[in-house]
Amino acid sequence: MRGILFASLCVYQAVAGVARAAHSSEFWPEISGFVPLSPRTRVYLDAAYLDISLKPIRRRDLWTEDWQRSRHFWARIGYDRIFKETSETAGYVGEDRGIVSFYGKAPLAAEIWLDARARADLRWIGDDCSTRYRFRIEATRGFTVLNRTVVPCFNVEWFYDTRYGGWARTLYQLGPEITANQHFRYEIHLARQDDRHPTEETLNALGFVAKWHL
C-alpha cells in the first residue's frame, strides 16, 4: 500500500506540473458497482446501465469470468442524468442521456489486447436534442505484481457531435487498473482532453475510479 500511495502521489505531482501549462485541470473521481444477474447480463451502478454479452458457446468458463477482461463482444445500454455548471447561465443545466455502447476485443502480439468501443449518446439538454458518437481504441496488457493483477492501459477516444456537425473532442487516457481483492479494484489514470467545439480548449485531469464487483 505504501508503494501504491507513493506512486499515486508521483502521478498527482506530474499532472499538477502539466496542468500549469494547460488551460485548465480537474480531478475526476468515480465510484462504480457491478451486480451479476445471469451469465450474460449484469447491472452497472455508476448510473442506470445494463450490460449484455453474447453467450459463450465454446468457452463456458467465461460465464464466471470478468466481463471487460474476458468477453470478446458485449453491449451496454442505459440512461444517465447529468448536471453541468455553465458560465453562460451562472448555474446548472440538466442533461438527460440515453446510452448505447458496443465493445469488442482482439489479441495482439506479446499478450497485448486491443479493445474497441463504439458508443452513441442520445442527449436532451433543455429543449435541444442531439447525438454524440464516440469511438475508442484501447491497448491493455496484464501483469502480476506482488500477487496482484495490474493492467496498464492506454486509450484514445474521438467524439463526433451533431450539434456542430464535426469532430468536437479527442480524449487520451493512460494508467493502470489494480485488483485489490476478488470484489474491489481501482484505477488511476492521467487524462488529456482537447476540445475543438464550441471553443478550442485543453484540459488535463487526474482520474480515480473505485470499482466494486458484487
Coil, helix or strand for 141? coil
Residue 87 confidence (pLDDT): 55
CA distance 70 to 24: 37
- For the cut 70, the answer to whether the pLDDT of residue 16 exceeds it is no
Q: How confident is the model at residue 75 (pLDDT cuts 50, 70, 90)?
A: very high
Residue 163 confidence (pLDDT): 96
Q: What is the mean pLDDT of the chain?
A: 83
- For the cut 50, the answer to whether the pLDDT of residue 85 exceeds it is yes
DSSP strand pairing (91-107 vs 143-145): unpaired
- For the cut 60, the answer to whether the pLDDT of residue 101 exceeds it is yes
Greater model confidence, 101 or 68? 101
Q: Dihedral, CA atoms, 167, 173, 179, 184, nearest 10 degrees?
A: -50
Residue closest to 22 by CA, chosen among 165, 192, 209: 192
DSSP strand pairing (24-36 vs 201-213): parallel
Residue 213 confidence (pLDDT): 87
Q: pLDDT per residue over 111-123, tens digit each?
A: 999 999 999 999 9
- For the cut 90, the answer to whether the pLDDT of residue 46 exceeds it is no
What's the mean pLDDT in 90-108? Answer: 86
Residue 171 confidence (pLDDT): 98
- For the cut 90, the answer to whether the pLDDT of residue 81 exceeds it is no
- For the cut 70, the answer to whether the pLDDT of residue 35 exceeds it is yes
Residue 6 confidence (pLDDT): 45
- For the cut 70, the answer to whether the pLDDT of residue 102 exceeds it is yes
pLDDT above 90 covers what percent of the chain? 58
Coil, helix or strand for 116? strand
What's the mean pLDDT in 123-142? Answer: 95
Domains along the chain with CATH numbers = 2-213 (2.40.128)
Residue 2 confidence (pLDDT): 45
Greater model confidence, 92 or 179? 179
- Considering only 10-14, 30-34, 156-160, 197-201, which range has the smallest mean pLDDT? 10-14
- Residue 49: alpha-carbon gap to chain centroid: 14
- For the cut 90, the answer to whether the pLDDT of residue 49 exceeds it is no
